[in-house]
Amino acid sequence: MSTNQKAVITCALNGVLTDPRQHHVPVTPEEMAAEAKRAFDAGASIMHIHLRQQGESGGNLPSWDTNLSREVQEAIRAACPGVIINHTTGVVGGDYQGALDCVRKTKPEMAACNAGSLNYLKVRANGDWAWPPMMFDNPVKKIQDFIDVMDEAGTLPEFECFDVGIVRCVGMYRKAGMYSGPLEYNFVMGVASGMPANPDLLPFLIDLKEPDGSWQVTAIGRAEIWSLHRRCAELGGHLRTGLEDTFYLADGSKATSNGQLIEEIAGIARKAGREIASPDEARTLLGIRTRD
């Protein structure tokens, strides 16, 4: 990837469990569309979406309702003409039929494909677990099921890599015949038990990916993530931020909208000499299939 190639910007609108009673994350289709429009106007060409249960008591809980998925996607596309939808598929455990159904029935242009397993852990300052220790399980059979349904739907997998070994696994999936399409890596950095949000890691990760693979960084954290975004832009990577990944701008102030975060990251790209890709340019750069 050329370091002067246009930068594709993804906005991660809301995440999986972030409580809308505490943070400004969108939940309803109308809220999702409004937040997407703010991000779109600031330069994001891809919207990464999670679905939430609707109603007063369910906004912090995930949903795999395919009708809701269609409604959210239609609302976002109406607000942001030409935008690319990137659908979540992250599920803990062996029952992931709902996530498969969302891809199969709604056919988003992109979807997350979690490319390996991780002990998802965090320890508080007092030594207590921040949540009960959890395995984010993504065995090869599960990954193959998602690759197959994405191929059927014409959906580009975005391979989510939470650790160095997972980056290496993506190349093995290709060599083993599991996948033969364009490769899009997402280096997820900042999860406490995964790769740290350290800019010095990027050259190693770039060296470990397949040479023809596009890549971006998901940086999770606070002030420390912005130097990582800057290094990503300088090295030619694509960029992602949003209220799923952080609540804080580079100056430490709390963001109240995805649009503010996208404005910040677009400015970083431009300072690195990168122009911002339009949705159509993003489709070409990432190898997204043309829709009828």
DSSP 31-54: HHHHHHHHHHHHT--EEEE--B--
pLDDT band for 60, please (50, 70, 90 cuts): confident
d(CA 52, CA 99): 13
Instruction: Name residues whose C-beta falls within 8 Å of residue 21's C-beta, 6 or more positions apart in sequence.
Output: 59, 60
d(CA 64, CA 95): 12
Show the domains of the chain with their CATH numbers. Answer: 9-286 (3.20.20.70)
pLDDT in tens, 263-287: 999 999 999 999 999 999 999 999 9
pTM summary value: 0.96
Rounded to the nearest 10°, the torsion over CA 73, 77, 79, 83 is 120
Tokens 């990954």: give the residue.
Answer: 143
One-letter amino acid at 114 equals N
Rounded to the nearest 10°, the torsion over CA 149, 104, 243, 256 is 160
pLDDT in tens, 86-111: 999 999 999 999 999 999 999 999 99
